[in-house]
Amino acid sequence: MGPDNEVTTAAGARLVHYGWLRQALTDAGKSAALPGKSGDAARAQIAAATLRLTQDSQSSPAGGAAPIAQVRGNLNNILSEHRFQRVQEEPSLIRRALASLLNWILERLNKVVAYGGENPWIAYIVEGLAICVPCVLLTWWVMVRLRRQAALPRTAVEAAAPTAPSARGWQRWLAEAEGFAQEGRWREAVHHVYWAAISRLEAHGLWPADRARTPREYLRLLRADHALEPDLRGLTRSFELIWYGNRPAAAEQYNDARARMEKLVPR
């Protein structure tokens, strides 16, 4: 075998390598020279080399038109598939208008950014506005909410449950206490005086109406520094000792409870 050859065809120059053929002939010679080996292996290698030479000669046509036409045909078949068929629709008027608006906004923003790069003080102004404007809006919203809540009418008595103390007017509680006092039923009289005080405070919105509270819970609803807290505490203690402690009561205890109840005027 000689050296590699450069073959000129219509498609251009092509270098033909024979290194694989030299190796195949060398291997065939070695196989034939081995003792105990038949010439089948050598003939198989020579046959394989002959087949490859035949295939190479068939894949290299004289002209370059046939492969190009075949490649172009394959490419056209692929491009004719449905997934490559994209119909180019003309954008609607609304899309064109939105695109124009977006382009206009982007142009203005680019000009602002360019101007801000030349004047750094603009960045400080924008940053200050970004912080101050949300704070002002939040403050305004809170003030509006507080004013609306303050303007709402007090509906504690209307919304009270039927069993709440304020469901019955405090004047009615007090009138019933007077009736028990005239009959000498002092424990019942003190009991009604206490609930007259609770109804009076509840009706003025000092706490939401709820009959399930205990006397101590009503007392805790007032702050320790509230002006009415001392009198309500004294009335609550007297009521608990007489009603729940089952202690005897007389006109003195009733008059004391009545005096404390008269001081509990919401203001």
- 150-164: pLDDT as tens digits: 654 444 444 455 667
From the candidate CATH numbers 3.30.70, 3.40.50, 2.60.120, 1.20.120, the one assigned to the domain spanning 158-263: 1.20.120
Q: Which of 12-21, 125-134, 256-265 has the lowest mean pLDDT?
A: 12-21
Residue 94: which of 86, 85, 102 has the closest Cα?
102
pLDDT confidence bin for 56, thresholds 50/70/90: low
Give percent of the chain above pLDDT 90.
25
The predicted pLDDT at position 156 comes to 42
Longest CA–CA separation in the chain, Å: 145
60 pLDDT higher than 70: no
Mean pLDDT of 217-238: 87
Q: Which of 87-96, 105-114, 160-169, 204-213 has the lowest mean pLDDT?
A: 160-169
- Look up tokens 């709402």; give the residue: 152
Residue of higher predicted confidence among 176 and 5: 176
- 145-201: pLDDT as tens digits: 887 766 544 444 444 556 677 778 889 999 999 999 999 999 999 999 999 998 888
The predicted pLDDT at position 59 comes to 54
3-state helix, strand, coil in the chain (%, to 5): 70, 5, 30
Q: Check the CA dihedral 169-172-174-180 and report its sign.
A: negative
Give percent of the chain above pLDDT 70.
70
Cβ-based neighbour number of residue 191 at 10 Å = 20
The predicted pLDDT at position 116 comes to 66
For residue 92, the one-letter residue type is S
For residue 91, the one-letter residue type is P
Distance CA 188, CA 197 (A): 14
31 pLDDT higher than 90: no
Residues in contact with 2: Cβ distance below 8 Å, sequence separation at least 6, in sequence order: 18
Mean pLDDT of 100-114: 86
Distance CA 61, CA 11 (A): 9
Provide the mean pLDDT of the chain: 78
